[in-house]
Structure 1
Amino acid sequence: MTDARKNLLHVFGFASLAQGYNFITFEGPGQPSVRRNQGPGFLAEWESIVTPVVDYAVARPRMDPPKLVVPGYSFGDLLAVRAVAFEHRLAVAVAVDGVFDFHLTLTSMFQPQLRDSTATGNVNIIDNIVKHLTSCDKSPVSAKWEFQQGLWSFNHVPVSPPKAVLMQQN
């Protein structure tokens, strides 16, 4: 595994099993292997992804459906919590490094001008700043990576302008 699944297994999976829970972790749209090998980006309707996974899991021998745990790190915790809200067979979500409001998480690192632009929908300013940020050699590496990774994970490159990602999360 080349993603958070390995960490989730070691940090929460074995402990969940020791407490009598069943543990499930997988990659869905937008996550590294799926994005690279199959193409789809993240989507808000995560329950549409989780339900078939739960269908598969509960059909396994020795599975105790009322004790099924789904974990998530970072943005994955938002997806895990959403999954539990819609998929009644999940007993609990374990949310780590929580992202409660994805739009606020993104815009909180912006200067006031860009933050105001996202609130008003000024697409030209948003597009220009994000394009500059992701292409300028002097941009902070972490901010540059976050935007490039976010655009890639949501499959908005080159189809949609950067503002589409920001506005979609509001």
Structure 2
Amino acid sequence: MKPMLFEDDPQFWYETLRALGHAAYGGSDFGEVVATAEKITAGDYDSWYEQWSATAERTATEARTALAGGHRVTARDAFLRASNYFRSAEFFLHGNPDDPRIAASYERSVDCFHAAARLFEPKIEPVEIPFEGTVLRGYFYRAPGDAPAPTIVMHNGFDGSAEEMYFFGGAAGLERGYHVLTFDGPGQPAARFHDGLPFRPDWESVITPVVDWLTDTRPEVDSERISLLGLSMGGLLAPRAAAFEHRLAAVIAVDGVYDLGQISTKNLPMPRPEAEALLRAEHAPEIDAAIEALMKTDSTARWAITHGSYAMDVATPRQFLASYLDYTLADGIAEKITCPTLVCEAEDDLFFAGQAQQLYDHLSCPKTLQLFTVAEGAGAHCHTGAQRLAMGRILDWLDTTLNH
């Protein structure tokens, strides 16, 4: 899809498209997004924050006014949009983890989502899942009916939140009679913000306690029909978990990712083993200089490295790229997956082009590859801007797989 705004800044355009796409399930209004984006200076992180924050504050005020007047549906809808706008506001600020605007916007995003959750029927239930001496925070969406129902566990990826997963699949699953559990794992907003937990490659250590919690504490869950959906970087993390957690009835990678080390090393003009050694070296000043130069010319690299250093809890850009080397489904890991697996692929993926096919080719389980194209408006990373189309195909596959 050609940029409507930010023609020379693909990262700003993608995040604008992301906000536009969430209109499909109530996370934005088209006019609000366009009016906000038109005021933003391309590439200016402060400008991005200021305009999205202003829109979020205005929308939250609308929500509170509606609620005070007894207009619960209007209030719910405005709180949902405000939550997403506050999430957008702090998106580019993580290059300075101590920036107070991060905490202020994140907390407002969560507070607005909780306010909306209380206005649903039935209410969306905030949950805390025991995890290694702390908790994983998320939400349980209960499907109608009394009989045990299939459940979709959903988590975001490199930069998104459990709250955002309502727009990226939670609402769609609920409409189709699934219980849905969304949560933030290590490296994701709640775990990073509250407990300082960075990402970790052994994602089965995250998913196994989540499945334990569902089977041990939620009698409404059909324990034989628990599936897992991972979004973006979650398209590697979820398959990684499924390789070792065999209670999952199905796994969905939106979109498939096979090896993040390919991202780390693709701009280094040397064989991969040599590139990996330099990324992990105690000192590599020439590589450091090359990374800094890349960040000055590539808006996506600039954002990914600054945010990634925060999410991985590392001190330098090179350490961030080195951390990516540990996130892979190579060396026989993909082949360990036994449950039916849907691998989604975006024709015009900004981040992981070609990796969905690699993952699919390495699977030995029952498998499906689903391509989403530019011509149908769904070719962007994670099919942003075409959520209803994408979730229809994805959940139809799951319905058939689980006989739901």
TM-score range, shorter chain: 0.7 to 0.9
In structure 2, do the counterparts of structure 1 residues 69 and 21 end up closer, same or farther at CA, with 3 Å as the change threshold?
farther
Q: What does residue 193 of structure 2 align with? A: 36
What TM-score does the superposition give when structure 1 sets the normalisation length?
0.77
Higher-Rg member (1/2): 2
Aligned residues of 1:42 and 1:153 also touching (Cα < 8 A): yes
CA distance in 2, matches of 1:100, 1:137: 24
Aligned residues of 2:201 and 2:327 also touching (Cα < 8 A): no
What TM-score does the superposition give when structure 2 sets the normalisation length?
0.36
SS of the residue 2:229 aligns to: strand
SS of the residue 1:147 aligns to: helix
In structure 2, do the counterparts of structure 1 residues 73 and 111 end up closer, same or farther at CA, with 3 Å as the change threshold?
same
The letter of the residue matching 2:246 is H
Residue 73 (structure 1) shift: 1.2
Q: What does residue 315 of structure 2 align with? A: 157
In structure 2, do the counterparts of structure 1 residues 118 and 167 end up closer, same or farther at CA, with 3 Å as the change threshold?
farther
Q: What does residue 263 of structure 2 align with? A: 105
Aligned residues of 1:23 and 1:70 also touching (Cα < 8 A): no
Residue 111 (structure 1) shift: 4.2
Is structure 2 residue 202 aligned with structure 1 residue 23?
no
Is structure 2 residue 208 aligned with structure 1 residue 51?
yes
SS of the residue 2:252 aligns to: strand
SS of the residue 1:138 aligns to: helix
Residue 97 (structure 1) shift: 2.4
In structure 2, do the counterparts of structure 1 residues 10 and 163 end up closer, same or farther at CA, with 3 Å as the change threshold?
closer
SS of the residue 2:169 aligns to: helix
Q: What does residue 226 of structure 2 align with? A: 68
The letter of the residue matching 1:93 is V
Sequence identity, in percent? 34
Structure 2 unaligned regions, length at least 5: 1-82, 88-159, 329-404
In structure 2, do the counterparts of structure 1 residues 134 and 92 end up closer, same or farther at CA, with 3 Å as the change threshold?
farther
CA distance in 2, matches of 1:83, 1:116: 26
User: Structure 1, residues 114-163: CA drift from partner, whole Å, max 9, x if none?
Assistant: 967424x12344x65346645998343321211122222111226x9446
Residue 100 (structure 1) shift: 1.2
Is structure 2 residue 162 aligned with structure 1 residue 5?
yes
In structure 2, do the counterparts of structure 1 residues 139 and 83 end up closer, same or farther at CA, with 3 Å as the change threshold?
same
Q: What does residue 144 of structure 1 align with? A: 302
CA distance in 2, matches of 1:112, 1:155: 27
Q: Give aligned pairs, total.
A: 166
Q: Larger relative contact order (C-alpha < 8 A, sep ≥ 6)? A: 1
SS of the residue 1:153 aligns to: helix
CA distance in 2, matches of 1:129, 1:145: 18
Residue 64 (structure 1) shift: 0.7
Q: What does residue 251 of structure 2 align with? A: 93
Residue 28 (structure 1) shift: 0.8
Aligned residues of 2:308 and 2:320 also touching (Cα < 8 A): no
The letter of the residue matching 2:194 is N
Q: What does residue 77 of structure 1 align with? A: 235
Structure with a larger share of its residues in strand: 2
In structure 2, do the counterparts of structure 1 residues 153 and 137 end up closer, same or farther at CA, with 3 Å as the change threshold?
closer
In structure 2, do the counterparts of structure 1 residues 147 and 6 end up closer, same or farther at CA, with 3 Å as the change threshold?
same
The letter of the residue matching 1:70 is L
CA distance in 2, matches of 1:12, 1:38: 26
Structure 1 unaligned regions, length at least 5: none
CA distance in 2, matches of 1:141, 1:60: 44
User: Structure 1, residues 10-69: CA drift from partner, whole Å, max 9, x if none?
Assistant: 343344345554433211111122112211211111111111111111221311111212
Aligned residues of 1:31 and 1:41 also touching (Cα < 8 A): yes
Aligned residues of 1:22 and 1:64 also touching (Cα < 8 A): no
The letter of the residue matching 1:94 is I
